[in-house]
A and B are shown apart, each in its own frame.
Chain A
Amino acid sequence: GESVGLHLPTLSVQEGDNSIINCAYSNSASDYFIWYKQESGKGPQFIIDIRSNMDKRQGQRVTVLLNKTVKHLSLQIAATQPGDSAVYFCAENPYSGAGSYQLTFGKGTKLSVIP
């Protein structure tokens, strides 16, 4: 798969437990953040996003927390299921005022769910 050669941090979680995936971002000008999930052979799939004027946002079974002070982003997955096994990426978008929407991706974390 695409992760060959890319040494990803790995998180192993028992099915039914909660998962927390962390991400540190570098650009203090970033004001929009997204979590993506990538399964083998597929492209990144949007999970949830958050803007810099918020510190928490909840979706279905997922919560994103943003700490701008320490430039840290986390994704919490409640009641982790085998289908949650994938590589998770955080991405940031610094608003430049010039209409540039490029995303900067983190290295990714591989989540393995143990049945």
Chain B
Amino acid sequence: EAGVTQFPSHSVIEKGQTVTLRCDPISGHDNLYWYRRVMGKEIKFLLHFVKESKQDESGMPNNRFLAERTGGTYSTLKVQPAELEDSGVYFCASSRLTGMYSGEQYFGPGTRLTVT
């Protein structure tokens, strides 16, 4: 079974530019999550999809971040315009639909975003 994949692995952009990160969850996983770790901080939750619907987007920092999951398969996270404080590692995770608890969340390798 293929794991969660993320693209690109590393992105370097200038402040004010736009970047789109992609996540392909494990096939059959209805739950998809985005997390990020910015420099010197813990891994923080951004949002959670159940299929194509946003179940919880309480962690999204501001309206410069837009996440989509059209068709309930892969997901994209767009940052527009990027700011210096957006630099960090963005992780995607997926899990099966199990009810009360998420069950094991499988993480991708992350995309390292550097905004200069």
| A→B interface (CB under 8 Å) | 2, 4-7, 32, 34, 36, 41-46, 49, 51, 89, 93, 95, 98-108
Are B37 and A102 within 8 A (Cβ)? no
A103 to B100, CA, bound (A): 14
Of the listed stretches B12-20, B66-74, B107-115, chain A binds B107-115
> Which residues from B are CB-within-8-Å of A99?
50, 55-56
Q: Number of residue pairs across A and B with beta carbons under 8 Å?
A: 78
Is the CB of B58 closer than 8 A to any CB of chain A? Answer: yes
Residue-by-residue, is B27-55 near A (CB-CB < 8 Å gives 1, otherwise 0)?
Answer: 00001010101011111110010100001
Chain B 95-112 interface residues, beta-carbon cutoff 8 Å to A: 95, 100-102, 104-110, 112
From B35, B95, B107, B109, A41 is in contact (CB under 8 Å) with: B109
A81 to B50, CA, bound (A): 38
Are A100 and B110 within 8 A (Cβ)? no
> Which residues from B are CB-within-8-Å of A42?
109-110
Are A107 and B42 within 8 A (Cβ)? yes
Closest to A2 in B: B89
Are A100 and B56 within 8 A (Cβ)? yes
Is the CB of B26 closer than 8 A to any CB of chain A? Answer: no
Are A106 and B42 within 8 A (Cβ)? yes
- Could you show 27 A-B contacts with beta carbons less than 8 Å apart? A2-B110, A6-B39, A6-B40, A32-B101, A32-B102, A34-B105, A36-B107, A42-B109, A43-B4, A43-B91, A43-B93, A43-B107, A44-B107, A45-B107, A46-B105, A89-B43, A93-B101, A101-B31, A101-B33, A101-B101, A102-B48, A102-B58, A103-B33, A105-B43, A106-B42, A107-B42, A108-B42
Q: A43-B91, A46-B105, A95-B100 are in contact. Are A6 and B48 (CB under 8 A)?
A: no
Interface size of B by CB at 8 A reads 33
A103 to B37, CA, bound (A): 13
> Which residues from A are CB-within-8-Å of B55?
99-101
Is the CB of B59 closer than 8 A to any CB of chain A? Answer: yes
Q: How far is the CB of A29 from chain B (nearest CB, A)?
A: 14
A4 to B37, CA, bound (A): 11
